[in-house]
């Protein structure tokens, strides 16, 4: 995984932030069954994948393993990171292969959880991310865990997590990611005014750019739209489109719909 948890792959499935309109429900690829023959031995690894491509902090977590196992786990984590966006089901296979030899290592359980999240397997993602947190993961996983709670139909639990001491310690993008999830949970319950209050404290800064800002503005626009404030919603979809330098959202399409 990347040293910057929101950065590039760097041989570790990056912490994928929750989508603006809720859990990543657009991705419906399902994980391949555990009983598959390939799963027991692990999926094939391209020769170009090397253990040294894994982020140093994660390699450090593998020092408790023997050299052969550490190399095997590291290469599968690298492969998982490379495949996460384009083929999350294959990424999950690689992460699970790593887990067969390193199930007590937080970074490995985190990798499985993130890949499962990208597959839309909320229950598995929730179990793995919780395990990673118990094992001392250094990643800020609370927003992902809360989003998984939404995915399994427990928006109230997502809201409750946002009141925890751990949530109070979040800052910057990590805090905003949790705000997006909590607003989505409120909207799940039909509480659009409360969702808007969550997103408005503090008021979003339209001059920001980047993935988290784009998702935040998009969710703000969606909430305004649910409240019948179409003109305001269109303005925030415009802000989302400007902030979305990576093309993460369909904000431009939404602007066209509202024009």
pLDDT digits (tens, 9 = 90+) for 188-243: 999 999 999 999 999 999 999 999 999 999 999 999 999 999 999 999 999 999 99
Q: SS3 for 159? A: helix
For residue 138, name the pLDDT band (cuts at 50, 70, 90).
confident
Overall residue count recorded for the chain in this entry: 259
Mean pLDDT of the chain, nearest integer: 88
Q: Tens of pLDDT along 238-249?
A: 999 999 999 999
pLDDT at residue 78 greater than cutoff 90: yes
For residue 102, name the pLDDT band (cuts at 50, 70, 90).
very high
Token code pair at residue 71: 């190399």
For residue 92, name the pLDDT band (cuts at 50, 70, 90).
very high
User: Residue 22: beta bridge partners?
Assistant: 19
pLDDT mean over 107-131: 98
Q: Is 54 left (phi over 0), alpha (psi -120 to 50) or beta?
A: beta
* Cα atoms in the Cβ-side hemisphere of radius 13 Å centred on 137: 25
Can you give the pTM of this predicted structure?
0.83
pLDDT mean over 110-120: 98
Contacts of residue 249, Cβ cutoff 8 Å, sequence gap at least 6: 20, 214, 215, 218, 240, 241
Q: Which of 245, 259, 256, 254 is nearest to 223 (CA)?
A: 254
Which pLDDT does position 259 carry in this prediction?
A: 87
Write down all domains in the chain, each with its CATH number in brackets: 1-139 (1.25.40)
């Amino acid at each position: 995984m990347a040293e910057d948890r929101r950065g590039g792959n760097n041989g570790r499935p990056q912490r994928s932030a929750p989508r603006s309109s809720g859990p990543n429900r657009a991705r419906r690829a399902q994980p391949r069954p555990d009983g598959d023959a390939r799963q027991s031995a692990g999926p094939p690894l391209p020769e170009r994948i090397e253990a040294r491509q894994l982020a140093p902090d994660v390699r450090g977590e593998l020092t408790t393993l023997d050299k052969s196992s550490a190399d095997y786990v590291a290469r599968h984590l690298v492969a998982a990171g490379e495949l996460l966006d384009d083929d999350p089901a294959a990424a999950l296979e690689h992460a699970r292969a790593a887990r067969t030899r390193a199930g007590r290592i937080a970074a490995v359980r985190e990798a499985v959880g993130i890949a499962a999240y990208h597959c839309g397997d909320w229950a598995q993602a929730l179990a793995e991310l919780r395990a990673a947190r118990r094992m001392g993961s250094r990643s800020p996983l609370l927003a992902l865990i809360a989003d998984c709670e939404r995915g399994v139909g427990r928006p109230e639990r997502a809201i409750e997590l946002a009141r925890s001491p751990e949530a109070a310690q979040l800052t910057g993008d990590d805090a905003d990611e949790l705000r997006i999830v909590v607003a989505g949970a409120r909207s799940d319950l039909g509480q659009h005014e409360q969702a808007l209050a969550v997103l408005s404290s503090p008021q979003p800064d339209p001059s920001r750019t980047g993935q988290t800002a784009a998702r935040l503005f998009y969710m703000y626009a969606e909430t305004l739209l649910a409240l019948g404030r179409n003109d305001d919603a269109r303005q925030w979809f415009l802000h989302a489109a400007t902030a979305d330098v990576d093309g993460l959202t369909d904000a431009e399409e939404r602007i066209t719909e509202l024009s």
